[in-house]
Chain A
Amino acid sequence: MSLKLTDIVKRFKTDTVLDGVSLEVADDETLVLFGPSGAGKTVLLRLIAGVFDPDEGTIVIDGYDMAGVEPEDRGIGMAFQNFALFPHMDAHANIAAPLTARRDTTTAIKTRVEEVAKLLKIDHVLDHKPKELSNGQKQRTALGRALAGEPSILLLDDPLRNVDAKLRFEMRLELPRLLREQRTTVIYVTQDYKEAMALGDRIAVLDHHGISQVGTPEEIYLTPRTTNIARLFGDPAINLLDVTPERGESGVHALLSGAQVPLDPGYSGLIGRDCILGVRPEAISFVDADAPGAFEVEIEAETPLNEKTVTLAATRRHREILISRPGGTPGPDHGTAHVAIDTGAVLLFDRATGARLERQPAQQVSQGESA
């Protein structure tokens, strides 16, 4: 079902945790609520679930205003980050909680619990108490409890946070299929950008007590609205370098290591303005010294990861940049080298506000393009 939050404000004593959050989630959509810890993600989920009341703003589920509606009447399923299993009930009773609330028949409950358990591969531990379950089984039980009642809205509060890396990897592959099969509206909270990118139809970035950007994973990755968001997505993190675009013989360029690095002509309106140049490490590559746009860097360190190799290098003005290349491909690991930036991938942000500056396609100045 659809969900619409309008101008939500929540304070605890004098702390304003959420300050004017508005968000719409469509029917059957999976929306990832992404943000650093302390941003108020969990509080927002609790407001939707109805265990806290907002100080201001409205929460509308499927056209109904939820003000004064108790949590049990909202048709919501929720999985908690710390699982919050009922320690005195076995896994079966835990998963059955939403069904007993509806007073389903015993056989109907049993059938549904077993169905869910099989789906989550915990059907063999249904008679175990939470303390007898492994962390992964606990996590699946919590998920099962959230799913069992076939809620119209499913709230998942960082469910993979407290499980080990291997399980997290497995679940990250498994969850999208699972959520799609449920055909329900999902709000998924996470601090892990990969999880966000893998699971979300759309991502809402919650930062500084408010939503700073909503968009598809591609939109957020490729066109982050601020340097802050750009920094949160991507590993290794995006390179952010102070530049001031200049007019050169072949259009717009920025000075890096004394070399003129060409910029997209759409940026010509920004000439002379103090900017931050953002470029992802994978959009920088090692080139020959005489390649167009090449500039010189000093290699400082190299970190081979499995699927890629990350190089830390410094420009002549000792500004550090990260360069990423696919693992196994050759590249220099010491001394000086030359690199070039994929012009199409360059983002420019305003240095004062951190807001991304748009290209202006209409203002085509010349045909200066890098080969």
Chain B
Amino acid sequence: MRHTSTFERVLRGTAITLVILFFMFPIFWIFLMSFQTNETILRVPPSVVFQPTFSNYAALITGKLETAAGSLEINFMRNLWNSLFLSTASVAVGLLLGIPAAYAFGRLKFRGSEDIAFTLLSFRFAPPLLVLLPLTIYFQKLGLADTYFGLIWVYQLIVLPLILWIVRGYFEDIPADIEYAYRIAGHSWFATFRKVALPLAGPGIAAAGLLAFIFAWNNFIFALVLASADKQPVTVGALAFVTASGIQYGQVAAGIVLSILPTFALALYAQRYLVEGLSLGAVKG
């Protein structure tokens, strides 16, 4: 080991402190704001000393916003529910479609399989509006405009490539002999897929599902273009909420906290797989 000088250690310590400060402060500050009333938020100079209040969260959860001008209906809970439903359903559909395809690409390898896999991957990189704008017109015609079904379908654009490429890697990592052994023992192709391939790729499937959920949850543009108020997830809803609530900054902050909490929790739970997911299965963490 090299000798590290005191100077170097101080330098490193300072650098890490600055990094943590920069990346953590906004979250910390918004978190504090969410427990404050407008009165304390608007103080100059700002201070971290205040009487915490849960009124912001209470207002969001009950859906009643008390303003000076009177009581206002807010639908933030609806947005939260939309986010949950859209993300869960998209991931479920994505897994249903993606796992068999990942198995076909990863294990069976067939003529054209690589081309198809790459085409699916390239969807991930195309500008989403390129697809979304014509789709608004199509969806009007098909009656899919502003439906959960239509949204879930479009969400496959982000969910499917992710699931496909992560799960494919896990299928590739299962030694082929293990599957051959099960077939030779007398089990059909499907039984082998269900009893051997699926359980062995289980961790990868779980990781892909969690990550796809996070990406779906954080998506903004799809719902902005295709969903009206009652189908909007939190990302779009929160933006509208800023305008609707006028100057109720504490509630906006509380809304943000509620919206980012689920992804933080999932990310913490799935941290082992984050690197793999973020690199679409290329780098193992």
Asked if A149 and B177 make an inter-chain contact with CB atoms under 8 angstroms apart, the answer reads: no
Given A72-B188, A101-B185, answer yes or no on A86-B180 (Cβ-Cβ < 8 Å). Answer: no
A84 pairs with B178, CB closer than 8 A: yes
**Residue in A closest to B200 when the chains form the complex, CB atoms:** A88
> A101 vs B187: C-alpha distance in the bound complex, in angstroms?
5
Contacts of B196 in A (CB 8 A): 86
State how many angstroms separate the Cβ of B170 from the closest Cβ of chain A. Answer: 13
- Cα-based distance from A74 to B186 in the complex (angstroms): 8
**How large, as a class, is the contact surface on chain B?**
10 to 19
Q: With a CB–CB cut-off of 8 A, which chain A residues contact B183?
A: 50-51, 70-72
Which residues does chain B contribute within 8 Å of A100, judged by CB atoms? Answer: 187
Q: How far is the CA of A101 from the CA of B192 in the complex (A)?
A: 10
Interface residues of B, dominant DSSP = helix
For A70, what are the chain B residues with a Cβ–Cβ distance below 8 Å? Answer: 183, 188-189
Interface mask (B128-139 → A, CB under 8 Å = 1, otherwise 0): 000000000000
| A54-86 at interface with B (beta carbon < 8 Å) | 70-72, 74, 76-78, 80, 82, 84-86
Q: Is the CB of B186 within 8 A of A80?
A: no
What 1/0 flags go to B177-206 for Cβ under 8 Å of A? Answer: 110111111111101000010011000000
**Cβ of B181 and Cβ of A78 under 8 Å apart?**
yes
Confirm or deny: A87 has a beta carbon within 8 angstroms of a beta carbon on chain B: yes
Shortest Cβ distance from A82 into B: residue: B177
Contact A149 B186 (CB under 8 A): yes
Q: Could you tell me which residues of chain A, from 27 to 72, have a CB within 8 Å of some CB in chain B?
A: 46, 49-51, 70-72
The answer to whether B46 has its CB under 8 Å from any CB of chain A is no
The number of chain A residues with a CB under 8 A from chain B is 25
Q: How far is the CA of A97 from the CA of B196 in the complex (A)?
A: 11
Residues on B with beta carbons closer than 8 Å to the beta carbon of A49? 180, 184
* B175 in contact (CB, < 8 A): yes
> Across the interface, do A84 and B180 meet the contact criterion of CB distance under 8 Å?
yes
Q: Are A84 and B186 in touch, CB under 8 angstroms?
A: no
Interface positions of A (Cβ within 8 A of B): 46, 49-51, 70-72, 74, 76-78, 80, 82, 84-88, 97-98, 100-102, 145, 149
Task: Kindly list the 8 A-B residue pairs having the minimum CB-CB distance in the complex, ordered from nearest.
Answer: A101-B186, A84-B177, A97-B185, A98-B185, A71-B183, A84-B181, A51-B180, A72-B186
List 20 contacting pairs A-B, 8 Å CB cutoff, sorted by A: A51-B183, A71-B183, A71-B184, A72-B185, A77-B184, A77-B185, A80-B177, A84-B175, A84-B177, A84-B180, A85-B178, A86-B178, A86-B181, A87-B178, A97-B181, A97-B187, A98-B185, A100-B187, A101-B191, A149-B186
